[in-house]
Amino acid sequence: MDLSAINPVLLLASLMVAATPILLAALGELVVEKSGVLNLGVEGMMIIGAVTGFIVAVESGSAATGFVMAAVGGAALSMIFAVLTQYLLSNQVATGLALTLFGLGFSALLGQGYVGIRAPAVPDLDIPLLSGIPFVGPVLFQHDLMVYFSLALVAAVWAFLKYTRAGLILRAVGESHDSAHALGYKVVRIRIAAIAFGGACAGLGGAYLSLVRVPQWTEGMTAGAGWIALAIVVFASWKAGRVLIGAYLFGGIAVLQLNLQAAGVAVPVEILSMSPYLITILVLVIISADRSRVALNAPASLGRVFHASS
Amino acid sequence: MIRLEKRPEPSRVWTAATPVLAVVATMIAGGIMFALLGKDPVAAIRLIFWDPLFDEQFASFSRPQLLVKAGPLILIAIGLSLGFRAGIWNIGAEGQYIIGAVCGAGFALAFFPSESWLIFPGMVIVGMLGGWAWAMIPAILKTRFNTNEILVSLLLVYVAENILASVSLGLLRNPEGAGFPGSRNLRNWEATSNQELIAGTGMHWGVVAAFVAVIFAYILLNRHITGFNIRVAGQSPRAARFSGVDPNRLIVFCLGLSGALAGLAGIFEAAGPAGQISIDFNVGYGFTAIIVAFLGRLHPVGILLAGLLMALTYIGGELSQFMLGIPAAAIQAFQGMLLFFLLAGDVLTNFRVRFGRTRAA
């Protein structure tokens, strides 16, 4: 065992990379849940994003096009969920599960000929001056554009929900769809827009996995990242800033356990690889144990079917 | 204008008709998908739904496989359906299936090479308890700490997969296996072998257990107070609380039962068709069983039929992979699509479609 082999600068820098896919997916799901819809299909949308992003990037040679199409792909898949739950009034839990099962199968089908290929590289930005600062520079200022995009998105989602009129309407729909409907807001349309945003974010997160983090395509490569994103939304008590904390905490654990594996710590590899899931469960328990806090923060209409009777 | 009017109670006709419609719609959509993959759609659909049962060349091999594959699916889906009816979502059956198999096999292998007849029943019971205990984790976290059982049960699947990898490389590895991962072969060992009971049918103890579970669930739901409580809790949680149903006991009961049945399916699979514990032991029965439960309308007899149909798509999928080079993943997408059509069709069960303008109230 050689713990000195773990370089703290590299550790913190790769923490940000590891956290980005989950941060993106969790932010999308946060907006969806704020509108009162529970979409359990995050895992399916992420993997569809991963495969479309990878295929488009390989075929076009441009990672940027890959990311754009991954967002489109994730949003397209989420529209199946939107039509089923919003127009055909199906059960959201069951439909979300169907989305995940379908996404996992369909992505494997799409990605058949792309196993073992390398994706075009995503360049790191290397921001002048700032990246030269010792320690802080390599940790914070030498990442690719998507890392900074995800951070900007945190701020944007936070500001949107807190300060804009549209954000207020979205929250109203999530708290009481009947009241929002009575006030004349188009509940179904607003929710579909939120679901599409969630799908696009999950797609981006998936593409970040297949284009930057791994960067390869393998079947089932999201490995529960979508479910962890769902857990992080609960952990964050439906607040954008805390989603950032949750995702980076999780990224830290994921990177640390990989580093410990590499350093040959005397803990079985399997225990280290299951640790992110165990810690997610533990965090969920701690957050949920305080019943009043969850009850106060969860959108009141979350998961309920909206059917305008008149 | 088209509008939906809530039915006072779900239509019985549509409840039975939607699964059939969903299967037909999936065949059409699946055919389109195969055509896009550059395969002959009619041949592919025929190969999946018809040839495994009636083709002279394949049927002798495929027919027994039907029960082999339907057994675990039905067993797991029966357990899940009880929880789903009560609004308790156990989606980690895959993990409970793995842990059941690992616990049962671990118990049996501890006695190797004894030939006592007690080992088989002991192994089955330990396997069942393993699945039960694994499902108790989300149940207790839900009742004690109000933790979401959907997320916990699902995350535990990944933990279970790591445990499976660990034991098949370490604790349970066959000492005479020349270093290959995987346990001793349980099927070749007299004391644990879960053999075909009637030659040529594929019937093994797991399939018997599945049939027993169907009958048990039918009686429970229709003739027993617990079944009544489950149905009330699902349809109206408030009414259930007023009539004195303890939601926590229901959670523990439903999750425990579905875990035990999933564990049972796991150990029968490990001792029979799979033969051993190895890294790739689980093949997604726990997830497909979710589709089976919905396709069977959460009704025991429906699940029996749905399980057989899903088993058919598994076998037909393997066949079309072999004959037409259709990728294995196509079947998974196919099964997911089936669930979409089913959920879409449910609108007709719960709502009446009205055409024309809204009348003033």
Counting Cα atoms < 13 Å in the Cβ hemisphere of B323 gives: 18
A262 or B306: whose pLDDT is higher?
Answer: B306
Measured between CB atoms, does A268 come within 8 Å of chain B? yes
Angle between helix B93-110 and helix B247-271 axes, rounded to 10 deg = 50
Cα B56 off chain centre by: 29
Query: In this complex, is the C-beta atom of A98 within 8 Å of any C-beta atom belonging to chain B?
Result: yes
Q: Which of B146, B152, B131, B151 is nearest to B247 (CA)?
A: B146
**Is the minimum CB–CB distance between A278 and chain B shorter than 8 Å?**
yes
Measured between CA atoms, the residue of chain B closest to residue A275 is B159
Taking CA atoms, B80 is separated from B86, B103, B300, B318, in Å, by: 10, 21, 11, 26
In the numeric block, the tokens 């395969």 are attached to B39
From residue A102, alpha-carbon distances to A110, B32, B341 in Å are 12, 16, 12
Lowest mean pLDDT among A26-30, A270-274, A292-296, B263-267: A292-296
Give buried/exposed letters for A144-157 (b at 16+ CB in 10 A, else e): bebbbebbebbeeb
Q: Residue B357: its pLDDT value, please? A: 63
The Cα–Cα gap between A199 and A180 comes to 24
CA dist., res. A280 & res. B318, Å (int): 36
Look at residue B203 and give its three-state secondary structure.
coil
- The three-state secondary structure class of B84 is helix
Check if the beta carbon of residue B155 is closer than 8 Å to that of residue A277: yes
- When mean pLDDT is compared across A16-25, B84-93, B112-121, the lowest value belongs to B112-121
- Distances B285 to A104, A233, B93 between C-alpha atoms, Å: 14, 29, 8
Please report the pLDDT score of residue B182 as a whole number.
78
Pick B360 or B236 by higher pLDDT: B236
State how far the Cα of B225 lies from the Cα of B168, in Å rounded to an integer: 43
Q: Identify the residue whose tokens are 């060349």.
A: B57
Sort out which chain B residues have CB atoms less than 8 A from A228's CB and list them.
Answer: 155
Say if residues B230 and B86 touch (Cβ distance below 8 Å). yes
What residues have CB less than 8 Å from A152, skipping those under 6 apart? none
- What ipTM is given for this predicted complex? 0.85
pLDDT of residue A46: 93
Contact A284/B327, CB-based, under 8 Å? no
Q: Which residues pair with B3 in a beta bridge?
A: B354
Give the whole-angstrom CA distance, residue A112 versus residue A133.
Answer: 44
Q: Which residues of chain A lie closer than 8 angstroms to B140, CB-CB?
A: none
DSSP state string for B56-71: HHHHHHHHHHHHHHHH
Least confident segment among A121-135, A182-196, B14-28, B214-228: A121-135
Cβ of B327 and A109 within 8 Å? Answer: yes
How does residue A3 score in pLDDT terms, banded at 50, 70 and 90?
low
Decide if B311 contacts B69 (C-beta within 8 A). Answer: yes
Give the Cα separation of B222 and B212 in Å (integer).
Answer: 16
> Domains plus CATH for chain A?
3-124+136-297 (1.10.3470)
Question: Are residues A93 and B85 in contact, defined by beta-carbon separation less than 8 angstroms?
Answer: no
Q: Which residue has the tokens 């991954």?
A: A70
| Rounded distance between C-alpha atoms, residue B77 and residue B214, angstroms | 10
Residue B340 to residue A84, Cβ atoms within 8 A: yes
Instruction: Enumerate the H helices of chain B as residue ranges.
Output: 12-36, 41-49, 51-54, 56-85, 93-110, 119-145, 149-169, 205-223, 225-235, 237-242, 247-271, 285-295, 300-324, 329-350
Chain A residue closest in CA terms to B84? A94
Q: What would the pLDDT profile of B163-178 be if each residue is shown by its tens digit?
A: 998 888 888 787 777 7
Rounded to two decimals, what is the model's pTM? Answer: 0.88
Confidence category of residue A60, pLDDT binned at 50, 70, 90: confident
Instruction: Categorize the per-residue pLDDT at A295 as very low, low, confident or very high, splitting at 50, 70 and 90.
Output: low
**What confidence score (pLDDT) does residue B176 get?**
77
**Cβ contacts of B155 on chain A, cutoff 8 Å:** 224, 227-228, 231, 277, 280-281
Residue A126: pLDDT over 70? no
Do residue A307 and residue B6 have CB atoms under 8 angstroms apart? yes
Greatest mean pLDDT range, A189-198, A285-294, B145-154, B221-230? A189-198
User: What domains appear along chain B, each with residue ranges and CATH number?
Assistant: 38-326 (1.10.3470)
pLDDT of residue B253: 92
Q: Is the pLDDT of residue B80 over 90?
A: yes
Q: Is B154 in contact with A224 (Cβ distance < 8 A)?
A: yes
What is d(CA A82, CA A111) in angstroms, rounded to the nearest whole number?
25
pLDDT class of A4 with cuts at 50, 70, 90 = low
Q: Residue B186: which pLDDT band, with cuts at 50, 70 and 90?
A: confident
The model's confidence at residue A77, banded by pLDDT at 50, 70 and 90, is very high
Distance from CA of B18 to the nearest CA of A (A): 13
Contact present, A202 and A45 (Cβ < 8 Å):
yes
Q: Which among B122, B88, B69, B73 is positioned nearest to B256, based on CA atoms?
A: B88
Pick the closest to residue B91 from B99, B101, B100, B79 (CA basis): B79
Convert the pLDDT of each residue in B231-262 to its tens digit: 888 888 888 888 888 888 889 999 999 999 99
Q: Do B151 and A98 lie within an 8 Å CB cutoff? A: no
Q: Do residue B358 and residue A228 have CB atoms under 8 angstroms apart?
A: no
Give the nearest partner residue to A270 out of B163, B290, B332, using CB atoms: B163
Cβ neighbour number for residue B283 with a 10 Å cutoff: 15
Cα-flanking dihedrals φ and ψ of residue B3, to 5°? -140, 160
| DSSP code, position A134 | T
Q: Which residues contact B337 (CB under 8 A, 6 or more apart)?
A: A102, B26, B29, B30, B33
- Which residues of chain A neighbour B324 with C-beta distances below 8 Å? none
The rounded distance, in Å, linking the Cα atoms of B62 and A60 is 44
Instruction: Write the pLDDT tens digit of every residue in A199-251.
Output: 999 999 999 998 888 888 888 888 888 988 988 888 888 888 889 998 988 88
B33-53 per-position pLDDT tens digit: 888 877 788 888 888 888 777
Of the listed ranges A114-123, A149-158, B295-304, the one predicted with least confidence: A114-123
* pLDDT at position A32 over 90: yes
Q: Two tokens at B200?
A: 């040529």
**Percent residues over pLDDT 90 in chain B:** 23
Residue with the two structure tokens 């088989």: B120
Given a contact cutoff of 8 angstroms between Cβ atoms, the answer to whether A93 and A303 are in contact is yes
Q: How far is A3 from chain B (nearest CA, A)?
A: 24
Chain B neighbours among A 126-185 (CB < 8 Å)? none
